[in-house]
Structure 1
Amino acid sequence: MYLVVFMICAFIVFYTYLGYGMLIYFLARWFPYKSITIPELNAQEFPAVTLFIAAYNEAEIIEEKMANSLALDYPTNRLKIFWVIDGSTDASEEILRKYTNVKVLYSPERRGKTAAINHGMAHVEDPIVVFTDANCMLNKEALKRIVKQFEDPTIGCVSGEKRIAFQQDDTVSSKGESAYWKYESFLKEKDFVYYSGVGAAGELFAIRTVYFEEMPENTLLDDFMLSMRIAQKGLRIAYTPDAYAVERGSSNMEEESKRKQRIAAGGWQSIGRLLPLLNFFVYGKLSFQYVSHRVLRWSIAPIALIVLLPISWLLAGEHGRSLINVFTVILYMQMAFYLCAVVGYLSRNQTQVSKVFFIPYYFVFMNANVLMGIWYLINSTGGVWEKSKRK
């Protein structure tokens, strides 16, 4: 019995965190989706675009965000900049009123980002809307790279790349998040080459406006739900790494934990709301990618990770005391990994921490927050949450 449990848990853990990455790399290389060749667009061909920014108390960053938005390389007569201010109590609205080329929609009551998106989308008329966060800076070519993808009629959503800026004197919160997103970006790229991206990151993504559907206001992962609802219609999510958003990492691990718990809770919530996507007979490749890339990571894998350690210890005791016993070796490998994680935890507020320590710590930290996300979801009262402080 122990052996069966061990085999199941070991497979889930390996496949979720490493195996799927290896498999999707192979599938993307040898069985890529036959996409059409998209030529470069000329100035007359660029579609009208709305750059949509939902914000709450972002007065500190608005001028920098506006400078970044106005510097984007896109025809000015084809671009609208649209801010939806969700119950801000700072000077956000007053600052934005200084810009004559910006549309501002103000809501006096704070109802959360999803409510702000629902409210704002009722005022969007352009065929393409690009969502970005106030604290993220986009590369100059981002919009051109995004709209080019929509020349393919199979594309309903385009996801840019999220990049975490960190300096050598940053702590584990920034460096761990950066390492995580590098691997996540690799998976996103291969997912798209094989068939479709699996969700979009709210820092930078775009949709065909016609496919927008209003979401329940208590939705925690608006970006993921919005993009996956479009994929559920049979359209693909394009991943475009040469359109990217840069933001700073969380100021410390306590702040990063707030964000991770909300995302984890949103993951559990999304699984419940996207149950039809678990049907491989209907959604085929998309179901395979969704379960492999998201569902396992958000649900079963963290539990399997916890079970694996005591099961390995029991099997190591059952099958002899030899140090070369396979279960003993696996047990010692886990113990060494968690020991490195402990060192990473003890060094979490230091600036000089080896990857040998901060990557295991961040991995354990993420999985712990997936389980804590269940409690967050149970106690969630809606789509409003406390923002994590960033550097």
Structure 2
Amino acid sequence: MRAHWLVLFAVLVAVASALCVQGYLHHLSGIGDDSAPSAGSAGKVPTAVSEGGPVIDARSGALRTAGPPERTIALTFDDGPDPVWTPKILDVLKKHHVHATFFVVGSAAVENPDLLRQMVADGNEVGVHTLTHVDLGSAPAWRQQLEIQGDQQVISGLTGQTASLLRPPYSSENDAVTNSTWDSIRTAAADGYLTVLTTKDSEDWKRPGVGEIEKNLAISGAKGQVVLMHDGGGDRSQTVAALDAVLSRYEEQGYHVTTLGDALGINSMNPASIGAEASGTAFVAGIRLSDWLVTAISWALVASGIVTFLRAVLVIGFAARHRREALRLRAAGRGRRRLSIPIRPAMTEPVTVIVPAYNEAAGIEAAVRSIAASNHQVEIIVVDDGSSDGTADLVEALALPGVVVIRKENGGKPSALNAGLCAASHQLIVMVDGDTVFEPDTVRKLIQPFADPRIGAVSGNTKVANRDGILGAWQHIEYVVGFNLDRRLFDVAECMPTVPGAIGAFRRDALERVGGVSDDTLAEDTDLTMALCRDGWRVVYQDDARAWTEAPASLGALWRQRYRWCYGTLQAMWKHRGAVVQGGAAGKLGRRGLGYLLVLQVLLPLFAPVVDVFAVYGLVFLDPVRIAALWLIFLAVQLCMAAYAFRIDKESLRPLWTLPLQQFVYRQLMYLVVIQSVVTAFAGVHLRWHRMERYGSLTVPAGVKENA
């Protein structure tokens, strides 16, 4: 089963790699308006370069430079292909029956592959202008290699040809070559590249006006020229207009306008080898895959953000409605007769409380004593499910009236609950875990909704007793904000999926109609609740019926507990999937409850690791201030929702200071639990019961009665 962690690691590495590709191609550099080359010393630049021709050949020991022959103009364009301006420039070239050399940027070529192919098909020449339009003179050696060879691979992959001409971005004429630029030229020459500079710069990147561009390209005399223009990097409308006029003038003056290779009498482009073309094709495919993946992630992030925001709005809205209704019913119970408040009779029937116990010696005494101290008539049945730590002996030693101990061989929690159900004397059944304590009025408050005959089960309000420490605070927040807010929503929407094992009340005849507590899943409480909903019973939430339970005190114990919960919930969802197409109460559970669980508790957690990787990507490659602002907005929504949940639960807001930290540890642990559970479920592996460690810390916190 550990193989799935390797799969997760591989997926995250793949996503991170795709994001790095995107960040490198689109955010570390980028095509923009050219500017003057970076200043620097030129003391190491040979005179043959600074005073020579625009084409530099440093491939052999003998440095040579060259330029076009007399009355020949090598027309060159940089920074394309651009989806708007390159087609217009190609049309102008066709109109005048001339060809040009296009120094293409690899990232732009990947986005516009058809334009690159059209350049070549029209008889034009293509050269290397780096992968992302980076200044080679200021780039380290590894990046120079990546930029040049990456662009070459794009050209090979898209056209099936290799290019031998290179123009460094931000380059101009020979006398502007600096030491660092010269070093990059020599490095490129070692890989077989001819470096091309310029003799006539249109300076169209400044957008000075059509007339000024024409003036910059005016030529007199017979000397051959290398003309620089741009087909990408910004608005090139002035370039297109000036090009038409300039070509007409050159034709009138008798100049021959052609590609650089044709002007020099060389074949600058040659068919790529099978290996080079395959490598280039794979390189381009990798970039396109990263583009697609990042686009998909971006849309998924938008969708998850919308879902998260809607969930916050829905949960708070339904919680407010649930609270108003609860206040109305309590007011009616106190005798406030208003026409808008229905009078509901108080439930005074005796209750059977079933406590399944397996090795609960650490907390069973506190649990049983708290239930026995209830201000409502109760029968307590403790079912010892084959304990080996003397749990049953401890309960019997208490000698409390109304407490019955049943000893049985270990058969699991469902069998213990069913044994208690068979021995129960009353029609109202309360089930409580052996690591949970009640307040004196918990039972009385818990059963009041049974005044409505449609109600088959009631969920109580589970509280974390051992909330000291940051892990306890995080679980306390989760119980109040996650579980209890959701239960209010489920109550109002009539699709309660879970009555927790820590505190739940049931009608006996409802339990008998669904066959008692099933052992089909590891989440017997969720399975039972869903079965009741599908049988037509209403399941509600009683927020003032509180139970205090022990939460895991270590990350390992927390993992085991939540792993069982999550896996069991997935089992129950699958078992009751037929509710989606049913009507009535079953349909509400299927379409509302199961849909909510699927989206919020399965799909979003599965996507969460990618969100974290994307956040790191944003901090590195995007605007870190914007990313931080988005995170703060998300955190503010979480804090507002948490503050409201704590307020209606009458809890102190002090633990909320740990909420930002929860995003960095607790959240990751929870989504890893979901991933583990989903993989286990799909693999069909039977997961054994994970019993939580007991700490013997069960008490009702001081001041609870006063604050109730």
Please indicate the TM-score interval, normalised by the length of the shorter structure: 0.7 to 0.9
CA contact (8 A) 1:6 1:312 kept: no
CA contact (8 A) 1:337 1:360 kept: no
In the alignment, which residue of structure 1 is the partner of 2:668? 364
Matched, 1:380 2:677: no
Q: Deviations over 1:97-153 (max 9, x none)?
A: 33253222111x322212212333222342110001111111111111122100112
Matched, 1:88 2:387: yes
Gap change, CA 1:312 and 1:381, over 3 Å in 2: closer
Matched, 1:294 2:597: yes
Alignment of 1:1-391 (within 5 A): 1-2=292-293, 3-12=295-304, 14-15=306-307, 17-26=308-317, 37-41=342-346, 46-75=348-377, 79-98=378-397, 99=399, 100-107=401-408, 109-166=409-466, 170-183=468-481, 184-212=483-511, 213-279=515-581, 283-309=586-612, 323=623, 329=626, 354-374=658-678, 378-380=684-686, 382=688, 384-390=689-695
Gap change, CA 1:228 and 1:268, over 3 Å in 2: same
Gap change, CA 1:329 and 1:125, over 3 Å in 2: same
Separation (CA, whole Å) in 1 of partners of 2:414 and 2:659: 36
Gap change, CA 1:301 and 1:281, over 3 Å in 2: farther
Displacement of 1:166 in angstroms is: 3.8
Q: Deviations over 1:152-207 (max 9, x none)?
A: 1221110000111245xx33321111011111212212332343433111110011
One-letter identity of the residue aligned with 1:129: I
Gap change, CA 1:388 and 1:7, over 3 Å in 2: farther
Gap change, CA 1:177 and 1:130, over 3 Å in 2: same
Determine helix, strand or coil for the equivalent of 1:129. strand
One-letter identity of the residue aligned with 1:50: T
CA contact (8 A) 2:497 2:530 kept: yes
One-letter identity of the residue aligned with 2:314: L
Separation (CA, whole Å) in 2 of partners of 1:201 and 1:369: 19
Displacement of 1:29 in angstroms is: 5.6
Displacement of 1:289 in angstroms is: 3.2
Larger radius of gyration: 2
**TM-score, normalised on structure 1?**
0.80
Determine helix, strand or coil for the equivalent of 2:665. helix
Identity in percent: 19
| RMSD (CA atoms) | 3.5
Q: Greater RCO between the two (CA within 8 Å, min separation 6)?
A: 1
CA contact (8 A) 2:498 2:529 kept: yes
Q: Deviations over 1:315-374 (max 9, x none)?
A: 999xxx7639xxx94598569999xxxxxxxxxxxx998432134421221111111224
Separation (CA, whole Å) in 1 of partners of 2:313 and 2:602: 21
Gap change, CA 1:197 and 1:177, over 3 Å in 2: same
Displacement of 1:280 in angstroms is: 7.2
Gap change, CA 1:123 and 1:18, over 3 Å in 2: farther
Determine helix, strand or coil for the equivalent of 1:50. strand
Displacement of 1:276 in angstroms is: 1.5
CA contact (8 A) 1:83 1:104 kept: yes
Gap change, CA 1:173 and 1:180, over 3 Å in 2: same
Separation (CA, whole Å) in 2 of partners of 1:97 and 1:249: 26
**Which segment is superposed worse, 291-300 or 303-312?**
303-312
Determine helix, strand or coil for the equivalent of 2:424. coil
**Which segment is superposed worse, 260-269 or 357-366?**
357-366
Determine helix, strand or coil for the equivalent of 1:230. helix
One-letter identity of the residue aligned with 1:187: D
CA contact (8 A) 2:493 2:592 kept: no
Separation (CA, whole Å) in 2 of partners of 1:140 and 1:288: 38
Displacement of 1:267 in angstroms is: 1.7
Gap change, CA 1:74 and 1:6, over 3 Å in 2: same
Q: Deviations over 1:4-55 (max 9, x none)?
A: 453245424652x5422312433566799999835352xxx61231101000
Separation (CA, whole Å) in 2 of partners of 1:331 and 1:279: 43
CA contact (8 A) 2:562 2:673 kept: yes
Displacement of 1:241 in angstroms is: 1.0
One-letter identity of the residue aligned with 1:149: P
CA contact (8 A) 2:318 2:488 kept: no
**TM-score, normalised on structure 2?**
0.46
CA contact (8 A) 2:461 2:503 kept: yes
Gap change, CA 1:71 and 1:375, over 3 Å in 2: same
CA contact (8 A) 1:86 1:111 kept: yes
Separation (CA, whole Å) in 1 of partners of 2:456 and 2:396: 33
Displacement of 1:73 in angstroms is: 0.7
CA contact (8 A) 1:265 1:373 kept: yes
Determine helix, strand or coil for the equivalent of 1:160. strand
Determine helix, strand or coil for the equivalent of 2:451. coil
Separation (CA, whole Å) in 2 of partners of 1:336 and 1:30: 25
Separation (CA, whole Å) in 1 of partners of 2:497 and 2:595: 10
Q: How many corresponding residue pairs? A: 362
